[in-house]
Structure 1
Amino acid sequence: MRETGRRRPDPSELPRFAPVVDRDTSGGRHRPPRPPRAARARRELDQRLVRVTASISALAVLIVVLLLPPISILDRGSDSAPGGIVARARRLQPVLPSGLEAASALYDLDVPATTAGPATLTVKLSAPAPRATNLLLYSYDGGKWQRLGTAQSVPGGASARGNVAAVPSTIAVLRRVSTTRALGVIVGPGQTPDPAAGKASIVSVEAAYPAPGTTDAGGVIVRPGALAPALRQGGGAVYLGISVTDAEDTQAVDRILADAALTKRHVAAVVTEAKGTGAAGVHLDYGALAPARREAFTAFVQQLASVLTAGGMGLVVSVPTPAGDGTGAYDWVALTSAASALWLNAPSDPSAYYEQVEAALRARAAEGADLERVWLMLDRRSRQRADGKFAALSLRSALTLASALQAIGQGAIAPGAAVSLAGVNIESASGSGGLRWDDRARSVTFEATGGRTVWIENRFSAAFRLDLAVRYVLGGVAVAGAAQDDALPATWETVGSFISNGTVQLELPYGPYLEPRWLASDGVIENFGRGAAVWRAPQQAGTFDVTLIISDGVAFFGQRLSLGVGGGGEPAAPGPTGNR
């Protein structure tokens, strides 16, 4: 095999990556990627001047903070500080919840009756902590600690600030010291989790759906024996997954929520089927419901949670990521109080993922939703957009699409002839530009023929998604498509790091790996570019193979095209060479 031009990475080399070292997790945000060296030098010169001003500003902020009382309250309804509030620090701290430590004293608050509604609280910390993370606001009442929401260290680090739905009678800032997170997995009926996933807290088996029609309205249809393999495998609490998959299922749920009697019947049916299958709990994924059903759905979940809890069973509710300001039929504050956990489904559009998910998490935290009960949903499947619609596909299918190749306008090939080759879906002349890293979607992407765009899910993109769970202190992660499947990416090591350490390593794929590589069994590859090349046929007659190898930065995948020289005939259809 011969290839001319600059050296390309060999699939046999050890994997490489480009580490993301410029991280700033303040406020749940990232710095943008570092600029080129020349631009960075100019920026650093400007930043020296900015740092002087910033240092003076930080000193001023620190002085102001030290002059504040232990508790500062801003009424978010009127943007003014209510008067008459007195804060007294307790000398002794009650026993703290497991995994938490005190970052401030516990303050008793005397709050006037006129102070009502949501507010922003600034609480003095016991010791300055300018870079503190995992800060939480808690109240203590009736011998129990209650989480109010997250808090952020203010400039200077003397205090922490957070939003609450109402001013409590007590307030303290606690810091999470336990870094472990919970793992949930979702498998299909009759499936078991991939052994590489490790031990999951919850194994949801997608085994049931709301009964359609009017005769058995309110009922639940369960696929026979769907939970049995997962129950036999053990290793986690197996939940009965009840989900909607089409318009008929959605209509069935809407009918249930529109009728109090049907809602009551549905609660009873869900509990009966969960007990009958031997499940330890229930996982509801009812998709995009009408916003008008918000109160009805909340009441349904509260009723169901009450019955399940009384029977020693758990309840998980999947919620869609809202595309706008509201949350539609899903009241996060009420649902996090009723259910064991909320599993946040990803937006259908990968290019809008971070914009929508981060906006949702910030808004719900400000409303007082308990984000420790929110788990991020991680889907191992890649995504394709075609004609404005999104569909899931496996990593293998995505790489097969990217590695498709053809000989352009070629009939009989004479010895020594030049043959134009093209990667059908990555050839730059078609405007696709090959495989590349998408900074907005934070994944490898390419544009295929027919106006299609493909976003590839792998360990790089998974790490960036999990970093959201780190920065917003979510309670865990739930992995969809968790059954063993060689067509899906190996992301379990990345997930395991998040579960055991509460952190992930952010990396970018090694740039040269994303460049396509052309190989030939004989002859010479010439003038290769991003997705196109010229093959100079050998001087002797025969059948020869040309191979296009592409990579998402982790796996190498190729397709081979057989070309006849000197004997005429059409080229054979390309075939895969497999993952290397």
Structure 2
Amino acid sequence: MLGGILIGLAVLAFFAYSRVCGGGGCDTDYCASGQKFSAPEGYELVSKVFELNAKKAAAPDNSNALVQLPLKSATTDQRNLSFYQYVASTSSWETLAPAILDPQGKMASATLQETPAIIAVMRRLLPSGHVAAYLPHNAPLHRDAVGRVTLVHTFDFAPAADGTVTGELSGITSDGSFAFYPVISVKAGDKGAIPTVVSILGDAATRSNHVLQIVNLVNEKKLGGINIAYMDLPADQRTAFALFISELGQRLHSQNKLLTLTIPSPIVVQGRVDEGAYDWAELGKAADVLAISPLRDQSSYRNDMPRVLEHLASLVKPSKLLLTVTPYATVKTVDGIETLRLSDAMARATRMSIGAGGDEKIVASSVVEIVGTNIDREENLSGIVWQPETATVAFTYKSGTPRTVWLENFFSVGFKLELIPRYKLGGVAVENASDDVYLGNIWTALVPFITSGQPILMQPNPADLLPRWTVSKGTIEGGERAGQKGRIKWSTPAEPGTYTIKLTLSDGSYYFENEVAVTVQPREARTPTATVTATPTN
């Protein structure tokens, strides 16, 4: 079993350990071991196993050890590489720190707090590559993500106007299977955040100060790296942001720390790929991992995302790129795009209106029309359907203006994951990998992909998307097939009382219900009409 990660330490002093002994003897700090060791299941040794040379002096107290080991074969693939120590008492390997490759890919280095007796560099083997999980501050991982993610990013920090970094580190404890790099983030919805970043980036001195503050944070919190997610920057910040990331990458790499980025996806405008404020070619040189944020508009995703990925793969080593998938539903209106939790989206879909009489009463032994307000096909709404052109389950409705809701689930995510092997990307990122039960569970698609490296491409059963109506008493006119167009006629019971009407909808994976209690009033007794008989006169 793999133990906890030791990820980064404040640099007090460095005691540099050399690499490996040469021909006739070993006079370096670590020597190739003569013992036979095997990697744990799911890992591979990319270096030989080395033992600490007992003849060499130990590292000074209160110092860090800079350890470098040669690899069996040169590689430029940074994914899932770490230093491990062998613990004889438990006959197991424990994670020490991420491994940093030299420019030639022949050596791996790490800064360690101690000098373990037996060490090696190993790669965690996942057919899917990286699996990056983004989490709100202090949110727990989804149960299906545990043991399957390689990177965890928590939204903990934000830049302050003076270049410092504010926030608190999430209480994440690694089980040794993933690296933890918290996020420093800004986005358009954060009040004053974008002007703050623009001010910081606008001058070389303030940029350098911000870099220093970030590096200090990484060392103070004993982190192995950091994630920068400066979203929604104006296009005129393109050069300044690239300079900032370049400087930050150099400072972090000099201390054997990693830099990961979260960047808005480029968009396709008039036939060309527009990167906006983000110079992907330069950013790709400086960062170790670059996650492409979700492209929200599903009406253009299937056409535009392949073009975007082809463009990015020509600028950045594809193994550094992660495609981000999301559990959030997307709503498109004339004013733009917003995101919703799946439960909120389906709450809109299951809304009902009940056609009471002119006096707004429902009476016994009457016929009442019940309408699924946002799935009523007689109002030219789509209902819950599979859209082949977007490869999503969707529905349209009106709220003043037309709106389209796209749902992310097992089916839609599978068709997005197929882009990862097609463009040989470095893996997948999950926008919110928390255990929030109100989000869509997309791990049903992710787990098979992580295991095999291949997506499951399926469409939902059309019958599962049809609305289902039930009433606690009375009858639905038309039988089982009634209501498929989003409305029913309910023959109310003869007895007054409170009854329930239930509308059940599915996204193809899960069912969602809206139940409404309806009071049925007694019918008013009719007042008899007097009959007058005239007697004819003679």
TM-score, L = length of structure 2: 0.69
SS at match of 1:197: coil
| Aligned counterparts, 1:272-421, within 5 A | 272-324=216-268, 325-365=273-313, 367-410=314-357, 411-421=360-370
| Aligned counterparts, 1:163-242, within 5 A | 179-199=127-147, 200-212=149-161, 216=162, 218-222=163-167, 224=168, 226-227=169-170, 229-231=171-173, 235-242=177-184
SS at match of 2:450: helix
Of 467, 486, 493, which residue of structure 2 is paired with 1:538? 493
- Contact (CA 8 Å) 2:126, 2:451: kept in 1 or not? no
CA distance in 2, matches of 1:380, 1:348: 12
Q: Bigger relative contact order, structure 1 or 2, given CA contacts below 8 A and separation 6+?
A: 1
Q: Judging changes above 3 Å, is the alpha-carbon distance between structure 1 residues 180 and 389 closer, same or farther for their aligned structure 2 residues?
A: closer
Instruction: Give the corresponding residue for 1:436.
Output: 385
SS at match of 2:459: strand
- Contact (CA 8 Å) 1:346, 1:357: kept in 2 or not? no
More helix by share: 1
- Contact (CA 8 Å) 1:406, 1:561: kept in 2 or not? no
CA distance in 2, matches of 1:195, 1:514: 27
- Contact (CA 8 Å) 2:225, 2:252: kept in 1 or not? yes
SS at match of 1:490: coil
- Contact (CA 8 Å) 1:193, 1:230: kept in 2 or not? no
In structure 2, runs of 5+ residues without a counterpart are 1-71, 78-102, 107-124, 525-538
CA distance in 2, matches of 1:254, 1:474: 31
CA distance in 1, matches of 2:302, 2:341: 22
**1:259 correspondence with 2:203:** yes
Ranges of 4+ aligned residues in structure 1 off by more than 6 Å: none
- Contact (CA 8 Å) 1:371, 1:475: kept in 2 or not? yes
**Per-residue Cα deviation, 1:466-491 (whole angstroms, up to 9, x for no partner):** 11112111101111111111111222
> How far off its partner does 1:318 sit?
1.4
In structure 1, runs of 5+ residues without a counterpart are 1-93, 100-141, 146-176, 570-580
Q: Which is further off, 417-426 or 496-505?
A: 496-505
**1:449 correspondence with 2:394:** no
Q: Judging changes above 3 Å, is the alpha-carbon distance between structure 1 residues 221 and 461 closer, same or farther for their aligned structure 2 residues?
A: same
CA distance in 2, matches of 1:143, 1:302: 19
> How far off its partner does 1:244 sit?
0.6
- Contact (CA 8 Å) 1:545, 1:561: kept in 2 or not? yes
Q: Judging changes above 3 Å, is the alpha-carbon distance between structure 1 residues 235 and 191 closer, same or farther for their aligned structure 2 residues?
A: farther
- Contact (CA 8 Å) 1:412, 1:568: kept in 2 or not? no
Question: Quick one: which amino acid aligns to residue 186 of structure 1?
Answer: Y
CA distance in 2, matches of 1:493, 1:363: 30
CA distance in 1, matches of 2:363, 2:104: 88
Q: Judging changes above 3 Å, is the alpha-carbon distance between structure 1 residues 361 and 190 closer, same or farther for their aligned structure 2 residues?
A: same
CA distance in 2, matches of 1:143, 1:405: 64
- Contact (CA 8 Å) 1:522, 1:537: kept in 2 or not? yes
CA distance in 1, matches of 2:279, 2:154: 25
> How far off its partner does 1:233 sit?
6.5
**1:561 correspondence with 2:516:** yes
**1:476 correspondence with 2:476:** no
CA RMSD, 1 decimal: 2.5
Q: Which is further off, 533-542 or 499-508?
A: 533-542
TM-score, L = length of structure 1: 0.64
CA distance in 1, matches of 2:293, 2:217: 25
CA distance in 2, matches of 1:293, 1:565: 64
Q: Identity over the aligned pairs, expressed in percent?
A: 28
Higher-Rg member (1/2) = 2
Q: Judging changes above 3 Å, is the alpha-carbon distance between structure 1 residues 180 and 436 closer, same or farther for their aligned structure 2 residues?
A: closer
> How far off its partner does 1:290 sit?
2.7
CA distance in 1, matches of 2:296, 2:192: 20
Question: Quick one: which amino acid aligns to residue 288 of structure 1?
Answer: D
**Per-residue Cα deviation, 1:22-80 (whole angstroms, up to 9, x for no partner):** xxxxxxxxxxxxxxxxxxxxxxxxxxxxxxxxxxxxxxxxxxxxxxxxxxxxxxxxxxx
Instruction: Give the corresponding residue for 2:373.
Output: 424
Question: Quick one: which amino acid aligns to residue 496 of structure 1?
Answer: V
> How far off its partner does 1:293 sit?
2.5
> How far off its partner does 1:143 sit?
6.9
SS at match of 2:364: coil
CA distance in 2, matches of 1:231, 1:556: 34
> How far off its partner does 1:542 sit?
2.2
CA distance in 2, matches of 1:506, 1:337: 34
CA distance in 2, matches of 1:97, 1:268: 30
CA distance in 1, matches of 2:105, 2:470: 67
| Aligned counterparts, 1:92-107, within 5 A | 97=75
**Per-residue Cα deviation, 1:368-424 (whole angstroms, up to 9, x for no partner):** 421111001111111122342222111111111111112124433333211101011
**Per-residue Cα deviation, 1:333-387 (whole angstroms, up to 9, x for no partner):** 222222111100112322222333211111223x342111100111111112234
Instruction: Give the corresponding residue for 2:66.
Output: none
Q: Judging changes above 3 Å, is the alpha-carbon distance between structure 1 residues 383 and 326 closer, same or farther for their aligned structure 2 residues?
A: closer
CA distance in 2, matches of 1:352, 1:273: 40
| Aligned counterparts, 1:71-90, within 5 A | none
CA distance in 2, matches of 1:564, 1:287: 51
CA distance in 1, matches of 2:298, 2:327: 13
> How far off its partner does 1:312 sit?
2.3
